[in-house]
Structure 1
Amino acid sequence: MKQLLVILVLLSTQIYAQDRDEKQIKALYHQALTEGSAYGWLQHLSTKIGGRLSGSIQAQQAVDYTKSLLDNMGLDKVWLQPVKVPKWVRGTPEFAYIESAPGITNNVAIRALGGSVATPFGGLKAEVIEVQSIEALKGLGRERIEGKIVFFNRAMDPGLIDTFQAYSGCADQRYSGAAEAGKYGAVGVIVRSLNLRLDDFPHTGAMSYGNTPVAERIPAAAISTNGAELLSTTLKLNPSIKLYFKQNCKNLPDVDSYNVIGEIKGSTHPEEIIVVGGHLDSWDLGDGSHDDGAGCVQSMEVLRLFKATGYRPKRTIRVVLFMNEENGLRGGTAYAKEAFAKKERHIFALESDSGGFTPRGFTIDANQKNYEQIVSWKNLFEPYLIHLFQKGYGGADIGPLKDDRIVLAGLRPDTQRYFDHHHSDNDTFEHVNQRELHLGAATMASLVYLIDTYGIK
């Protein structure tokens, strides 16, 4: 009889907990969809401030704006964390053309890669050699490369459902292509934009010269996918064509910037910290709405949703808007360094940096027990069409927090259109859907609520 009583008590407790969780999650989604603030915040961030390249005036304006939002939210604490960030400026617009014969040219759209040096003042013109990979470059050797512009033309694999996997399969040519081509005497590098569709938008992104001396660094630019197709086809018809390009970018000394941080102090376990965040900086093309204005406003919305629904967290919930994810990761590194120095106990970190599209679920970086606990909550998300709970990468900015105690997770929206916009002039506010953005914020808040309620293993 006593055993039966224990079973009944446990069963009733589970039913009560299930009912409580369902009600709280429903309240979070209802508040987000009917009175959500994220879309309005993003509109101001994107259309009134615009692209927020690290070290720029716009980046500082974004710091001031988001701090003011957190100040007005009634949080327990809001502050700025100083971060030294690199300052790279694009300069006047880039220009390029394919010269198939003297006086016969076709203009193509390019954008300098972030961190690249400029071309000579009058621009750069040379023959072009096309390669599909850094390995193929090495196989050609100096004899075939010296004095030429190397054209990396490996496209993202359209057969992969996970577009981030397709992106990862090509990113090395953008990041390291100039450093590698320079070793063989190349005078410049042109990289096919990392984009699954054919269009005229060049996609920039970070690149590195490694340990190449400053005097030996060569200029690097991305070419639109339509431009890449034209250049490749023209090369096949006439391998002796030349490409001209001109860019005026420059690297300047590091400048002061900030991570923007706000928190609700936990009611029973304030020493246990849950982080939710995105990166406040963006590239200077477009206005950074999907990458990563969406993640920033969704993260702030998590805290607003808790306050609006009357939920008082047991653990400390902290929003962090990281600076300099795009070209240095200084913000994420500085945050983790200070957290470890202060011996803060971070138990969970959730990042949104995959665009403001329809949420599908989460990728989770955790031990097996914590992963299984999160998967056990899957039924609570099914009414909201959230189904993806798989082991995987949490995010770049929260990555430096990783140790053997923390659980990291990344919000995973539908990614099929993300790289149409990523790092390009096409990343603008008009391409963000209000309902999809708010669904993502509610999905993040729901997982944070469950971690706060049950802790980690």
Structure 2
Amino acid sequence: MKSFKSLLILLFLSFSVVAQDQSDKDSLNIRNFYDMSLLHGKSYDWLDYLSNEIGGRLSGSYEAQQAVEYTKSELEKLGLDKVWLQPVMVPKWVRGEREFGYIQTGPGSTRNINITALGGSVATPQGGTRAKVIEVQGIEDLAEYGRKNIEGKIVFFNRPMRADLINTFEAYGGAVDQRHDGAKEAAKYGAVGVIVRSMNLRLDDYPHAGNMSYGDLPKSERIPAAAISTNDVEYLSGLLKIQKDLELYFKLNCKQLDDVQSYNVIGEITGSEHPEKIMVVGGHLDSWDLGDGSHDDGAGVVQSMEVLRLFKETGYKPKNTIRVVLFMNEENGLRGGKKYAEVAKEKGENHVFALESDSGGFTPRGFGFEANDAQFEKIQSWKPLFEPYLIHYFERGESGADIGPLKGGNTVLAGLKPDSQRYFDYHHTAIDTFDKVSKRELELGAATMASLMYLVDKYGFDNSHKADSASSQ
């Protein structure tokens, strides 16, 4: 009996030594990713070119095509096993001449307001739209007011993002329906236009663009929709309390054209042991046109490219096939994400993991995962490896819009979660520009993504990987 107990103790100690040795190797490899990104990174230089040489990359635009060509060229320089373009038809909406609007504050007296057309909106009539304003807190208020109070008026949606929610994406989610569906719903009550409070947690003069939809509303019934800056929102709302019959004028010059061909940009390192198993890392290449899209989502694009470069530069040879996918048309259609998943399904490809960065280039805090219980338990076992970098947030929740269509089966989806408190200051605005991105924060995010990709590649999630996890690398 004593000899049996001694054997068990020896086996336990032996296993502990092997496990500690693997943990030390993982820590060293992860340290190498951070060192390479922080000392010799390329992500900031790539973002500089995307932002300052190309600029805003509205889906279907010349700038979007320039971004396709540039990122493909840069991926080819990395010496990947394969780089290609995946065709995808995308909507082409153009803003036209700059929008203009004002509030009629009195006879012969006006105050200009900062507005921007929402993506997908129709234009106002050639002479603009002028009407009385009715303020509502959300779509649900429309039925309460009814057609008799709304018909012929401009509906002013003024439900703010909740400032008491620490998760700013939760606050965004609780307010964004009025931007996306407000015009569609207000038109049913005879409104002639909508003005929507910008999705923002601070008061400033920058209106926030973003996508909107008319659903199946006939073209003849569609009404123009614009976002208004939060400073002007506060002024307008206050004035309406004392001057209920005031009028607002705005003019939009936007137009929806026919779909055009664009591309997802894809680069690949073929797996050394399981080439049939595919892991994706990516962000979306398109942006709104007001700024240069540095945070949304230039940061995610260059961080994803950097993951593959870090693997190459540190000499890590992945067991599974690693793909970087730069998706087109996330902002106003998600065509790129849907096309990628569609082609993957047609080819019978086996995607085991996908990671997206689309929350800005701020300090990384962790990840959100869409995974089952067993998968998430394994993921949590890696958390101590990230704690030296102050990465503590490992939660189950949303991952990313572009990788969402890959969901199904045992595929694990993940989204990088940077600090979100400043993100909506810049999101979809003219000040989402290169100077708002910290080089160090951007590079920390890239290394964090590479580290997670490395761990998933090395250990996987199914039983077949458990047996060889202690002996790999």
Q: Same fold (TM over 0.5)?
A: yes
> Aligned partners of 1:8, 1:342: CA distance in 2, in Å?
46
> Aligned partners of 2:64, 2:448: CA distance in 1, in Å?
27
Amino acid at match of 1:16: D
Q: CA RMSD for the aligned pairs? A: 0.6
Partner of 2:223: 218
Shift of 1:404: 2.0
Structure 2 matches for 1:52-451, cutoff 5 A? Answer: 52-451=57-456
Shift of 1:30: 0.5
> Aligned partners of 1:173, 1:22: CA distance in 2, in Å?
46
Shift of 1:9: 2.5
Shift of 1:3: 2.6
Structure 2: stretches of 5+ with no match in the other structure: 1-5, 463-473
Amino acid at match of 1:94: E
> Aligned partners of 2:461, 2:400: CA distance in 1, in Å?
19
> Aligned partners of 1:4, 1:139: CA distance in 2, in Å?
73
Shift of 1:6: 2.3
> Aligned partners of 1:179, 1:168: CA distance in 2, in Å?
18
What TM-score, normalized to structure 1? 0.99
> Aligned partners of 1:179, 1:345: CA distance in 2, in Å?
39
SS at match of 1:360: strand
Amino acid at match of 1:60: Q
> Aligned partners of 1:357, 1:112: CA distance in 2, in Å?
27
Partner of 2:457: 452
Shift of 1:15: 1.2
Residues paired across the two proteins, number: 457
Shift of 1:26: 0.4
> Aligned partners of 2:35, 2:210: CA distance in 1, in Å?
37
SS at match of 1:374: helix
> Aligned partners of 1:331, 1:256: CA distance in 2, in Å?
11
> Aligned partners of 2:371, 2:188: CA distance in 1, in Å?
40
Shift of 1:11: 1.4
Amino acid at match of 1:278: G
Shift of 1:10: 1.3
Structure 1: stretches of 5+ with no match in the other structure: none
What TM-score, normalized to structure 2? 0.96
SS at match of 2:278: strand
Shift of 1:351: 0.3
SS at match of 1:198: coil
Shift of 1:138: 1.4
Amino acid at match of 1:259: N
Partner of 2:467: none
> Aligned partners of 2:64, 2:433: CA distance in 1, in Å?
16
Shift of 1:360: 0.2
From 3, 8, 12, the counterpart of 2:8: 3
Stretches (4+) displaced over 2 A = 1-6
SS at match of 1:443: helix
Identity %: 67
Shift of 1:102: 2.6
> Aligned partners of 1:139, 1:383: CA distance in 2, in Å?
54
> Aligned partners of 1:370, 1:13: CA distance in 2, in Å?
22
The 10-residue stretch of structure 1 (100-109 or 316-325) with the greater mean CA deviation from structure 2? 100-109
> Deviation string for 1:220-279 (max 9, x for gaps)?
000000011111011111000000000100000000000000010010111111100000
SS at match of 2:286: coil
Shift of 1:91: 0.1
Shift of 1:355: 0.1
> Deviation string for 1:261-299 (max 9, x for gaps)?
001001011111110000000001100000000000000
Shift of 1:100: 1.9
> Aligned partners of 1:104, 1:241: CA distance in 2, in Å?
11
> Aligned partners of 2:85, 2:11: CA distance in 1, in Å?
50
The 10-residue stretch of structure 1 (119-128 or 2-11) with the greater mean CA deviation from structure 2? 2-11
Amino acid at match of 1:337: E
> Deviation string for 1:329-362 (max 9, x for gaps)?
0000000011111111100000000000000000
SS at match of 1:141: helix
